[in-house]
């Protein structure tokens, strides 16, 4: 695979070329997904649930993200790699700069942080230090307690307008990519069209620039309640490789997620 950069991803947005992304945590799967052509990967704090067995992302530490970022980078040296800054690790500017630097030095190209308007100063400070930042709005897993669980966001007009405002303010502050999670498809389309930066959706319809799934959801090995937007691409395929190829194809031609996997 050629080396994937933020400039390359911006080019895809300009030319309306949809791209697939995957949340992954280790060397072997990173290598597998890279070899199959996945250009963008995320080391998510979802590892707290998928790897560590917690019931939320909140217990994850910076050192956990560092460890898994190093492993994924070794397995996929040329992909564009995002890594989450976990809960409480970026609440103050100096703290955010220090922890983001640790993650970048572990091999990430970009750090991802959850939140809206309150992040404006932190995003500016990170950007001024050449640290690429991805925003994350809509359903924010680190706000699990605040939202009383995992619920669709932006269904009311005032809430939708607030999310659009936050997206625009975060872009103005300096984010270079945005993840929108569990919001209505029409709202995700509006946000994607309003921003000049790439927008990646998860549970946000098929009109975003890219799509991302947790690898466990893609392979149908998620335990417990399955999110509506998840699709098991392995169920009717005879190999993991074929499942990945089907995911890539359906994202690129815009048939995943369909109405059944959207809000």
The pLDDT value recorded for residue 147 is: 60
Q: What's the CA gap between 134 and 132, in Å, rounded?
A: 7
Rounded to two decimals, the pTM is 0.94
Report whether pLDDT(148) > 60. no
6-47 pLDDT, tens digit per residue, is 999 999 999 999 999 999 999 999 999 999 999 999 999 999
Does 193 count as an annotated binding residue? no
Enumerate the domain spans of the chain. 6-261
Over 40-74, what HEC string results? EEEECCCHHHHCCCCCCCCCCCHHHHHHHHHHHHH
Mean pLDDT of 128-154: 83
Does 55 count as an annotated binding residue? no
Q: Among 165, 181, 223, 250, which one carries the catalytic annotation?
A: 181
Please, what CATH class does the domain formed by 6-261 belong to? alpha beta
- Whether 166 is catalytic is no
Mean pLDDT of 168-185: 97
Does 238 count as an annotated binding residue? no
Mean pLDDT of 144-165: 82
216-244 pLDDT, tens digit per residue, is 999 998 877 778 888 999 987 779 999 99
Mean pLDDT of 251-261: 93
């Amino acid at each position: 695979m050629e080396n994937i950069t933020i400039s390359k991803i911006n080019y895809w947005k300009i030319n309306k070329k949809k791209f697939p992304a995957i949340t992954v945590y280790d060397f072997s799967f990173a290598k597998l997904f890279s070899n199959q052509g996945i250009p963008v990967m995320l080391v998510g704090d979802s590892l707290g649930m998928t790897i560590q067995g917690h019931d939320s992302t909140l217990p994850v530490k910076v050192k956990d993200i560092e460890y898994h970022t190093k492993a994924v980078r070794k397995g996929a040296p040329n992909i564009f790699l995002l890594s989450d800054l976990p809960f409480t690790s970026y609440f103050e500017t100096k703290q955010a700069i220090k922890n983001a630097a640790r993650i970048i030095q572990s091999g990430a190209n970009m750090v991802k942080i959850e939140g809206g308007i309150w992040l404006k100063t932190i995003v500016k400070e990170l950007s001024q230090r050449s640290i690429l930042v991805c925003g994350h709005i809509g359903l924010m897993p680190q706000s699990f307690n605040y939202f009383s669980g995992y619920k669709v966001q932006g269904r009311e007009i005032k809430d939708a307008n607030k999310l659009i405002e936050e997206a625009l303010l975060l872009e103005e502050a300096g984010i270079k990519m945005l993840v929108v999670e569990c919001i209505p498809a029409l709202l995700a389309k509006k946000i994607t069209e309003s921003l000049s930066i790439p927008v990646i959706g998860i549970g946000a319809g098929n009109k975003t620039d890219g799509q991302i799934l947790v690898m466990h959801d893609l392979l149908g090995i998620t335990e417990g309640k399955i999110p509506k937007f998840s699709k098991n691409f392995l169920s009717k395929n005879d190999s993991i490789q074929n499942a990945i190829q089907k995911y890539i194809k359906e994202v690129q031609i815009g048939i995943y997620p369909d109405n059944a996997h959207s809000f």
